[in-house]
Structure 1
Amino acid sequence: MKRVVVVGAGFGGLAAARALRERGPKEMDILLISPKPELLYYPGLIWIPTRLRSPDDLRIPLGRFLDKYRIRHIPETVTGLKDQGRTVLTDKGQYVNDALLIATGSASLRKLPGIEHSRSICQGIADAVDIRDRIAAMTSGTIALGFAGNPQESSAVRGGPVFELLFGLDTWLRKTGRRDRIALTFFSPAAEPGNRLGPKAVKNLLAEMARRNIPTHLGSRLQAFSAEGVSTEGEKFPADLIVFTPGLRGPEWLSETGLPLSPGGFIRAERTCQVEGWPGTFVAGDCGSYPGPDWMPKQGHSADLQAETAAGNILDFLKGRKGIRTFRVELVCVVDSFDSGTLVYRTPTRNVLLQNPLFHHAKAYFERRYLARYR
């Protein structure tokens, strides 16, 4: 009986495990290794500060999903690999496999002096709740929202949720009659923040900030955060609350595995999602570095596409064949603003930007449909 180990219970890991069970032989043993049998729906974190979502809405227990697809969950944390991926090491044991999929996500570059004075909407439930509670306690002041990238890896940036929270807070504060007392400001070391969404999107985003009376601080390297505000190479500006999403980096546990890593610490993979030079070892989602355009996104949709590709190629590998499937490169997102949204779609040949209140409802509908498969 063949055994496939999947490491990570996020978008990529769960999509791959499901695809393996649906397409693979019934007797195949599928092990899913993650600290908890739980999915955290990260895209919904933007709605916690404005109370459109609660933490329990976004934490999905996986017991029914695991039973339905006959997937064995191992509640452990991966710490390393040996035998070129054929053995996975955890904090409690080791697991031999015939094929391996790594989908453990990314980590954050939290090296900026004073980073402890900021919160990130992409970090998890605790930060999102703290942002919510601190805003609720504000009677006046300034909220500074921003993001940065990884200088060593152009794709290792996550700015979309920051734009969404920025515009969502503006809308919500106006609806609740507090916007005149709470100022919003946006900052980024990039001169054109959001350029991975395409030239149209950058122009649209900056115009929207101007329309909403949101000052910007762009193109100057960040130096430090403090309880008083933000310092860059060019200026200092005050903030009572700093919401900042740093650039991404590869997970720390990868560094001693011998896996081929990119400059940013991500696993180098082929377009087939196989790790370079490691037959039978595949990667999906944010922890991978893939061939393609520099705007290739790190987002849940991409992780799903990569997971489907990896699953098909894993099944070919187990049959003694070289998998040749490749994943589709595209960016699809809705930049939400609490009661409206802007659809951004990008491929190597197209870049579409559409704004409509219906896209807010479409984003919520997609969330319900997506999570239904794991509830």
Structure 2
Amino acid sequence: MNPPTRITIIGSGFGALSSVLEIRRRDANVEITLIAPRAELHYLSGIIWIPCGLRPREQLIVPLANFFKRMQVRHVAAEVTGLRDGGRVVETTTGEVGNDALVIASGGRFIKKLPGIEHAITPCEGIAAAEKIRDRLRAMAGGPIAVGFAGNPNEPGAVRGGPMFEFLFGIDEQLKRESRREKFELVFFNPSKEPGQRLGPKAVKYLLAEMEKRGIRTHLGHKMQRFDADRVVTEGGEFAADLILFMPGMTGNLWFDQTELARSPGGLLQADAQCSVVGTQNIYVVGDSGSFSGTEWMPKQAHMADLQAAAAAENLLAGLRGQTPNATFKVELICIIDAIDHGTVVFRNPRRQIILPSSRLFCWAKRLFEGVYLRRYR
């Protein structure tokens, strides 16, 4: 009897877990090993609700032991340090893991080169960062708050701007609920004059109009120079900030440097339309780790990672069976920009863009989706 086919998945985020589901739906017999430091999913989409108290950390951390058991997944609690033998061996902090096919879904890494960036909080670094925002807001009696993001100059698509709009509008609404909004000045900053282009031109116009309506000042179109403890400094001037929330651009994981995998100009793994890492055999990439050929505005979000995971699973199994991998994924953005009690729907694909203005219904729809999405892993 031939030994079972061995598939290794690196990561435990949206792309990695979707890859587990998609592979297992197509093949009940392959051996799946997942490498990640912890058997946990951190639902980062929900950290926008931590500052206002709608979510404690316990509700956003999903233990994966039961999911792994149901999906017959072997978990290796380790960090990846490199690859060898053409990717057939994954080197980790606890030893080597062999495979017949590999899915890399280990996310991206924020570029922290801006001088003084230690003075800013990067929300999407995780739950602890959102808790820090919550605690800082509670301690503040008033003053200026700056919220902004930037991209990777060598990788225009490697940016996570959407959550920053949610933190901005969420803080504005939270301070209003606490009857102390008038004691604060909110400033949104971005090196682009039209921030959020991944969401589409209609969304940019809508979001800037929403800021004006809420009395949020903007500082746009100026390259950032540095952060001080109490201010943001750009080529177009500086402004005071007692609290700075900043999302830098993204690049690849440090362990990518210990491999011969093809890289994009911005440091991500270069992938084709089938999610295969260029120049490799049976190595696929899903989610933030990859730079994919196709639409320039391809978003970095969980929904996109799920679509890529389905294509990667189909192609990976086809390749192992000696078939030609030809599955592709659609490029599509779907998000609800949440502001605690209202939400705005943004949809975009290569043919159309739709904006559904702020509604309480969409806010509740986002929370309902959270429950439905996480149920598969609980």
Q: TM-score range by the shorter chain?
A: over 0.9
- Check whether the contact 1:78–1:91 (CA below 8 A) recurs between aligned residues: yes
The aligned residue for residue 36 of structure 1 is 38
- Check whether the contact 1:273–1:309 (CA below 8 A) recurs between aligned residues: yes
Aligned-pair distance for 1:142?
1.2
Distance 1:19 1:330 in 2: 19
The aligned residue for residue 274 of structure 1 is 276
Paired amino acid for 1:18: L
Paired amino acid for 1:59: I
What TM-score comes out, normalization by structure 1 length?
0.98
The percent identity for this pair of structures is 51
Q: Deviations over 1:126-155 (max 9, x none)?
A: 111011000001111111100001100010
The aligned residue for residue 22 of structure 2 is 19
Q: How does 1:272-351 map to 2 (within 5 A)?
A: 272-351=274-353
The aligned residue for residue 372 of structure 1 is 375
- Check whether the contact 1:267–1:283 (CA below 8 A) recurs between aligned residues: yes
- What RMSD, in angstroms, separates the aligned Cα atoms of the two structures? 0.8
3-state secondary structure, aligned to 1:231? strand
Distance 1:203 1:48 in 2: 28
Aligned-pair distance for 1:256?
2.2
The aligned residue for residue 196 of structure 2 is 194
3-state secondary structure, aligned to 1:89? strand
Distance 1:301 1:79 in 2: 28
- Check whether the contact 2:144–2:242 (CA below 8 A) recurs between aligned residues: yes
The aligned residue for residue 165 of structure 1 is 167
How many residues align? The count is 374
- Check whether the contact 2:81–2:258 (CA below 8 A) recurs between aligned residues: no
The aligned residue for residue 221 of structure 1 is 223
- Check whether the contact 1:255–1:265 (CA below 8 A) recurs between aligned residues: no
**Gap runs ≥5 in structure 2:** none
Q: Deviations over 1:144-188 (max 9, x none)?
A: 100001100010111100000101111111111010112211101
**1:207 aligned onto 2:209:** yes
Moved over 6 A (4+): none
3-state secondary structure, aligned to 2:288? coil
Distance 2:189 2:319 in 1: 47
Alignment partner of 2:240 out of 238, 261, 270: 238
What TM-score comes out, normalization by structure 2 length?
0.98
Distance 1:55 1:264 in 2: 32
Distance 2:52 2:145 in 1: 14
Paired amino acid for 1:103: A
**1:68 aligned onto 2:70:** yes
Distance 2:128 2:166 in 1: 18
Alignment partner of 2:255 out of 253, 256, 267: 253
Paired amino acid for 1:333: C
Q: Deviations over 1:252-301 (max 9, x none)?
A: 11012000000111111111111111120101000001011211001100
3-state secondary structure, aligned to 1:119? coil
Paired amino acid for 2:7: V
Q: How does 1:24-103 map to 2 (within 5 A)?
A: 24=27, 26-103=28-105
3-state secondary structure, aligned to 2:189? strand
